[in-house]
Amino acid sequence: MERVRLDRRRKSSAAPLHHHLHLSTRPLSAMNTLHHGRSRNTQHATRNTFCAPRFNVLTSQRFNAFTLVEMLVVIAIIGILASMILAVFPAIKKKAQITKSKQEIQNIVAAIYSYEHDYSQFPSSKAAKGVAALTPPDDFTFGTTNVSCLNPGGQTNTAEGFSTPNGLKTIRAPGNYQANNSELIAILMDLEAFPNSAPTLNAGHVKNTNRTKYLSAPTVTGNISSGVGSDGVYRDPWGNPYIITLDLDSCQKTRDPLYRLPAVSADQADSNNPKRGLNGLFYNADNNYKCYQNNTEVMVWSAGPDRLIDQNTPANFGANKDNVVSWK
């Protein structure tokens, strides 16, 4: 009985190996052919799947049409944005020019005070200082004569004066001596000669013996561009000269030829304070003056974006409203 069981186990363990491994009875050559064929089919299928996607004519046409619509929408948006930018560009440019003018005015004022600190006097010529000998003593204003200006149309004023709503008008400093601001700018920039090679009153550094460059300003060609022109005049972003008044009579106050006028600086809306003028100015009731003045030793201003001034209009109205001033 035991022998029968052992025989059965031997027969079971001796079962043909191909029952478990499923060995093929095909010839080896056929096996190789089958293997290579499957490899080619697999590679071909892979190429078809990943490298050659199916092309659908309808899908392609629909995609191209949608892209064209997108382009039209983008072009329309760009056009709208461009029109918006063009509409606001003049205002942006104007604001930038006003900011530039304010900064240049501050630089001029700071340079004058720095010079005064070093030399215990304001930068000016002997002729300009002559206003202190007037009766009554007065202040001097640079920028009243021998200047090229741009009028509101952008053309150069060929006659002497500043543009007003009523044509060209002159601004005069007290006394007989008149000067543009090149005299003052040459001292502050320590220039011995103007850009056009003409000598300045600072030749040999006689007015700036320390040779200190108190003011840095761009130099430009011509006489109507923003910056220090070939004539040495410092002009604002709109092509007009900066008007600069100095306290040369040493009263710690300044009286400017334009802003001293009651028609310009009187505050008609404030009848309770008749001595208080527009933009922080005050009325000097002294019989020798009877004008408006500023409680500082330096006044600098520009005619502003409209390139206009008006001797008959309040400072906060009309042609004077956009003037850029150092004391406001």
Cα–Cα distance, 286 to 296 (Å, whole number)? 18
User: Quick one: which of 245, 220, 217, 235 has its CA closest to 148?
Assistant: 235
The model's pLDDT over 224-272, given as tens digits with 9 standing for 90+, comes to: 899 999 999 999 999 999 999 999 999 999 999 999 999 999 998 887 8
* pLDDT value, residue 313: 96
Residue 15 pLDDT > 80, yes or no?
no
Question: Residue 65's pLDDT band (boundaries 50, 70, 90)?
Answer: low
Residue 5 falls within a domain, yes or no? no
**Distance of alpha carbon 290 from alpha carbon 322, whole angstroms:** 26
What local confidence, expressed as pLDDT, does residue 14 receive?
Answer: 47
**Is residue 197 assigned to a domain?**
yes
- Is 201 within the bounds of a domain? yes
- Judge whether 194 lies within some domain: yes
Beta strand ranges found along the chain (DSSP E): 140-142, 162-164, 167-169, 227-228, 234-235, 243-246, 282-284, 291-293, 298-302, 324-325
> Could you tell me if residue 168 is inside a domain?
yes
The residues, ordered by sequence, that sit 6+ positions from 229 with a Cβ below 8 Å of its Cβ are 148, 195, 219, 220, 221, 222, 223, 235
Number of separate domains in the chain: 1
Distance in angstroms (rounded) separating the CA atoms of residues 133 and 275:
27
Q: Which of 285, 270, 278 is nearest to 301 (CA)?
A: 278
Residue-wise pLDDT for 143-197, tens only, equals 988 777 788 888 887 667 788 998 888 888 888 999 999 999 999 999 999 988 9
Residue 73: inside a domain, yes or no? no
Query: Global pTM?
Result: 0.74
Average pLDDT value over all residues in the chain: 83
- Please report the pLDDT score of residue 283 as a whole number: 95
Q: Does some domain include residue 34?
A: no
Checking if the pLDDT of 19 tops 90, the result is: no
8 Å CB contact between 17 and 23 = yes
Q: Distance (Å, rounded) from C-alpha 249 to C-alpha 136?
A: 9
Cα(223)–Cα(147) distance, integer angstroms:
8
Long-range contacts formed by 266-275: CB under 8 A, 24+ apart: 266/292, 266/314, 268/314
In terms of phi and psi (left: phi > 0; alpha: psi -120 to 50; beta: otherwise), the region of 318 is: left
Task: Tell me what pLDDT residue 66 has.
Answer: 64
Rounded average pLDDT over 188-216: 96
Report if residue 148 sits inside a domain: yes
- pLDDT single digits (tens) 20-64: 444 444 554 544 444 445 544 544 444 444 455 554 554 555 555
Neighbours of 2 (CB within 10 A): 6
The Cα–Cα gap between 292 and 139 comes to 13
Q: Which structural domain range is residue 194 located in?
A: 98-250+298-306
User: Tokens 């008044």 appear where?
Assistant: 245
> One-letter amino acid identity for 237?
P
pLDDT at 125 over 80: yes
Three-state DSSP at 134 gives coil
Q: What is the rounded CA–CA span in Å between residue 261 and residue 187?
A: 29
pLDDT tens digit sequence for 268-317:
888 788 789 999 999 999 888 899 999 999 999 999 999 999 999 999 99
Sign, CA torsion 254/293/141/94: positive
